[in-house]
Amino acid sequence: MKIIGISASARKNKSTHFLLDQCLNESKRAAELLEKSLEVELIDIAPMKINACIACGKCKKGVLCSQEDDFQPLISKLADPELVGIIMATPVYMGCMSAQAKAFLDRTVLFRRNGFMFKNKLGGVIAVGGSRNGGQELTIQAVHAAMMIHDMIIVGDGGHFGGAAWGSHPNGYEGDETGINTAKSLGKRMTEVACMLHH
């Protein structure tokens, strides 16, 4: 079993990356407690060049994309049959997901067009805003919508929407205990549900 986390901030190694790392570490810890083998991988797309989908239609002919950018090497990673879940982490930009997150999600249409390859994979979301209530839940739901278009199974943090964090917490994002706990709970739930489905 493998869970991939996508950090879709414009900035490397900042709050979005931190929260996703906390989440994936908790997924791993939960798997160890359940004595299950789980691989996790954090992919930070901040330094990558991922263009918007240009709707050329090449992916209607196979698991292919016409654009030679940094999405290309991600295709085989995301097509890995061991993959059981994807966690998207995005900053809140203007009340919704980052352009990086949207470009990434749009480009994943190729998996839908080739037999719904993400069907029944788990989907979890983390949103980090500069304000405590800056649109995190709306952002999470917007990413959930794309996951539903893939026929994925949405996982929350055990009662709420997922990871909702405050990047500009007075103690820094590393001090946003409430937000960190939502990200950790999401990671734990991802593992619990993955283990229920793949035992």
Ligand X SMILES: Cc1cc2nc3c(=O)[nH]c(=O)nc-3n(C[C@H](O)[C@H](O)[C@H](O)COP(=O)(O)O)c2cc1C
**∠ at Cα 102 (96, 108), nearest 5°?**
145
Q: Which of 83, 88, 125, 128 binds ligand X (CB under 6 A)?
A: 128
Number of chain residues interacting with ligand X (CB under 6 A): 17
Between 113 and 130, name the residue whose CB sits nearer to ligand X. Answer: 130
Give me the amino acid identity at 133. Answer: N
Q: Which of residues 63-82 bind ligand X (CB under 6 A)?
A: none
CB 87 within 8 A of CB 20: yes
91 near ligand X, rule: CB under 6 A = yes
Q: Which of 2, 67, 79, 130 binds ligand X (CB under 6 A)?
A: 130
- Nearest approach, Cβ of residue 183 and ligand X (Å): 13
167 near ligand X, rule: CB under 6 A = yes
Give me the amino acid identity at 101. Answer: A
- Phi and psi, residue 153, nearest 5°: -105, 120
95 near ligand X, rule: CB under 6 A = yes
Q: Burial code of 11-20, b = ≥16 C-beta within 10 A, e = fewer?
A: eeebbbbbbb
| Segment near ligand X (CB under 6 A); pick from 22-30, 86-94, 147-155, 174-182 | 86-94
Residue 111, CA distances (Å) to 41, 73, 121, 149, 161 in order: 19, 14, 12, 11, 25
Between 131 and 178, name the residue whose CB sits nearer to ligand X. Answer: 131
| Segment near ligand X (CB under 6 A); pick from 14-22, 35-43, 116-124, 180-188 | 14-22
Between 94 and 148, name the residue whose CB sits nearer to ligand X. Answer: 94
Q: Which of residues 133-162 bind ligand X (CB under 6 A)?
A: 134-135
Beta strands in 30-154 (DSSP E): 39-44, 83-91, 122-129, 153-154
- Segment (H or E) for 7: strand 2-7
Residues in the site for ligand X, rule: CB under 6 A? 9, 11, 14-16, 91-95, 128-131, 134-135, 167
